[in-house]
Structure formats: structure tokens, C-alpha cells
């Protein structure tokens, strides 16, 4: 008879444990349902979809390191080991000055280009507003231009600019799309008939495959491109793979430059002819 209180106590503890476990399971289910209903943030995991900027902005105090590689065209085959001998490398630091505003500095080996950039959130997608809107601007300095080749060149001729309004919407837990009206100014153009002022429209998207991976694409149509231009509109297709504090972006593009004036105005490849560049972005947040 003395064992009954002990059995009663054990049974009570078991019932309490089952009750707590059931509550935790219920909370997990509620959290999953809440995530499915409030999927607006973030529309994109990285600050770039591929080449095109996304609406993501660094949080205040966060420091990001971006390392971007664009190899030579895969069409050259084993002569350049499918482009690996002709790599373009860009290193960029991005700092969240405060929530909703980031500043960036970078150096790209193609044309030895230095760039500064700023990105700011203007509006956030929510139940009452359908879009996430971000403004982006960059100024690029081409230090490879040779005074001997361009004897009348001024310092300002080394500069190019790009300004974008990035408008994105997350339509579901898997699909996000973005439009990017774009303005580019090149003080020195590479073709005599090319306009210094150029207007373009970018479109990009992300489709989530798993919790940590997605398929991405972006394309920019340059409305100011001359019909006789040797340059093409850039199309980029890639994949995001998230691993903790890193995001790996593997991609193929017909543009080797990763700077906005470079790939929007001077994409030198062509998908139809197999002139495509393999590349990747590695993102690390501190």
C-alpha cells in the first residue's frame, strides 16, 4: 500500500510531461502556420539576385563581405580551361549604417574599377502595402583608362553611374519577383554611337526549392542600346545555397562585369552563341 503514492506521483509526472510535449507540438504547428501566412520577409536571401541588385538591405551594424568571381567564357573550352584562366574578381564590403540604409565599397579587377554604393529601404511589403521598395545608387571609377590612348581624357571620363528603383513582391512562400527601372550614365562610352544616358528595365525572380536553396534569374533590357551595338542585354541564371552565415550563389551570365554600369551597358556575351560566363558570389556577414 505504501507504493501507491509513488505510482501516483510517477503517473502525475508522466501526464504533465505529455501535456507539456503536446503544448510544444501545438506551438510548433501554430508557428509554422504563422510563417506560411506572414511570408513577406525576406523576399531575397542575398543582396543580389544574380547580377541585379535585390531589395535586401544590411541591418544596422552588420558588415558584409562579398567576393564575386566571373570566369572567362566557357566557349573557349580547354584553351582557357572553360574560362578559369580569365577570371574577373570583385571584393566588396557593405556596412549597415542603420536599419534600412547601407553603404558599400568595392574593387573589380575588370577595368580596375573602384565603386561606391548606397541602398535604402523606402517601403516594406505588409498586409496593407503590396511591395517592398528600395532605392540603389552607385558611382564607378575606371582606373584602367590610359592617358596615352585617350590624350584628351579628363578625370570625369573615368566615371560612370547607375541608379535603380527596386520594387519586389513575395507572392508566396516560394516565389518572389522584382522590377528595377534603371538609369545609367557613362561619361565615356565604348561605341561612338552609344548614348551617354541610358534607360533600362530589370526583372528578377527567386523560386525557393528547399529551406536553404533557390533558383534565381535576372534580365535587364537596355532601351537606349543602339541596334548596331556589339553589346547585349544581360541575362543571368543561378542558384542560391545558404549555409549558416554564408550564402553561395552559383550562376551563368552573358556579362562578365558585376558592376551595374558594366553589365547593363557592356554585356559582351551572347547566350545563343554559347558566349556565357560561369561565376559565383560568396556572401559572409559579420
Q: Is residue 162 very low, low, confident or very high in pLDDT (cuts 50, 70, 90)?
A: very high
Q: Write out pLDDT tens, residues 244-264.
A: 767 899 999 999 999 999 999
Residue with cell 566557349: 75
- Do both 155 and 172 map to the same domain? yes
Domain range enclosing 2: 1-37
- Do both 112 and 33 map to the same domain? no
Q: What CATH number does residue 168 fall under? A: 2.40.160.40
189-208 burial, b at 16+ Cβ within 10 Å, e below that, comes to beeeebbeebebebebbbeb
Checking if the pLDDT of 243 tops 60, the result is: yes
Q: Write out pLDDT tens, residues 104-141.
A: 999 999 889 999 999 999 999 988 899 999 999 999 99
Q: Write out pLDDT tens, residues 27-85.
A: 444 444 444 455 556 689 899 999 999 999 999 999 999 999 898 777 666 666 555 66
Q: Write out pLDDT tens, residues 260-285.
A: 999 999 999 999 998 999 999 998 88
Residue 1 pLDDT: 44
- Do both 26 and 55 map to the same domain? no
- Do both 257 and 279 map to the same domain? yes
DSSP sequence for 192-220: TTS-SEEEEEEEEEEEEEETTEEEEEEEE
Residue 270 pLDDT: 93
Residues 6+ apart with CB under 8 A from 245: 284, 285
- Do both 251 and 190 map to the same domain? yes
- Take residue 267 and report the three cell numbers written for it: 554585356
- Do both 148 and 261 map to the same domain? yes
Mean pLDDT of the chain: 85
- Do both 53 and 30 map to the same domain? no
- Do both 220 and 120 map to the same domain? yes
Checking if the pLDDT of 174 tops 90, the result is: yes
- Do both 193 and 148 map to the same domain? yes
Checking if the pLDDT of 21 tops 60, the result is: no
- Do both 117 and 253 map to the same domain? yes
Q: Write out pLDDT tens, residues 209-233.
A: 998 999 999 999 999 999 999 999 9
Q: Is residue 16 very low, low, confident or very high in pLDDT (cuts 50, 70, 90)?
A: very low
Give the total number of structural domains in the chain.
2
66-103 burial, b at 16+ Cβ within 10 Å, e below that, comes to bebbbbbbbbbeeebeebeeebbebebebbbeeebbbe
- Take residue 190 and report the three cell numbers written for it: 565604348
- Do both 12 and 150 map to the same domain? no
- Do both 188 and 174 map to the same domain? yes
Amino acid at each position: 500500500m505504501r507504493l501507491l503514492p509513488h505510482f501516483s506521483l510517477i503517473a502525475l509526472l508522466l501526464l504533465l510531461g505529455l501535456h507539456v510535449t503536446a503544448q510544444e507540438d501545438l506551438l510548433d504547428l501554430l508557428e509554422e502556420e504563422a510563417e506560411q501566412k506572414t511570408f513577406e520577409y525576406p523576399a531575397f536571401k542575398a543582396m543580389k539576385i544574380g547580377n541585379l541588385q535585390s531589395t535586401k538591405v544590411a541591418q544596422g551594424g552588420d558588415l558584409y563581405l562579398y567576393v564575386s568571381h566571373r570566369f572567362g567564357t566557357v566557349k573557349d573550352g580547354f584553351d582557357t580551361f572553360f574560362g578559369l584562366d580569365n577570371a574577373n574578381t570583385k571584393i566588396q564590403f557593405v556596412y549597415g549604417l542603420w536599419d534600412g540604409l547601407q553603404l558599400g565599397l568595392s574593387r573589380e579587377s575588370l577595368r580596375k574599377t573602384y565603386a561606391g554604393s548606397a541602398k535604402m529601404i523606402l517601403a516594406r511589403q505588409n498586409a496593407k502595402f503590396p511591395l517592398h521598395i528600395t532605392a540603389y545608387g552607385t558611382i564607378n571609377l575606371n582606373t584602367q583608362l590610359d592617358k596615352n590612348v585617350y590624350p584628351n581624357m579628363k578625370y570625369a571620363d573615368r566615371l560612370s553611374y547607375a541608379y535603380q528603383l527596386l520594387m519586389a513582391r513575395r507572392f508566396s512562400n516560394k516565389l518572389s519577383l522584382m522590377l528595377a527601372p534603371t538609369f545609367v550614365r557613362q561619361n565615356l562610352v565604348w561605341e561612338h554611337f552609344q548614348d551617354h544616358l541610358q534607360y533600362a528595365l530589370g526583372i528578377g525572380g527567386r523560386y525557393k526549392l528547399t529551406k536553404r536553396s533557390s533558383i534565381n534569374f535576372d534580365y535587364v533590357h537596355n532601351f537606349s542600346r543602339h541596334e548596331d551595338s556589339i553589346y547585349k542585354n544581360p541575362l543571368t541564371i543561378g542558384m542560391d545555397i545558404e549555409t549558416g552565415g554564408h550564402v553561395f550563389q552559383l550562376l551563368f551570365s552573358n556579362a562578365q562585369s558585376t558592376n551595374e554600369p558594366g553589365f547593363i551597358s557592356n554585356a559582351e556575351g551572347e547566350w545563343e552563341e554559347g558566349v556565357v560566363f560561369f561565376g559565383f558570389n560568396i556572401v559572409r556577414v559579420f
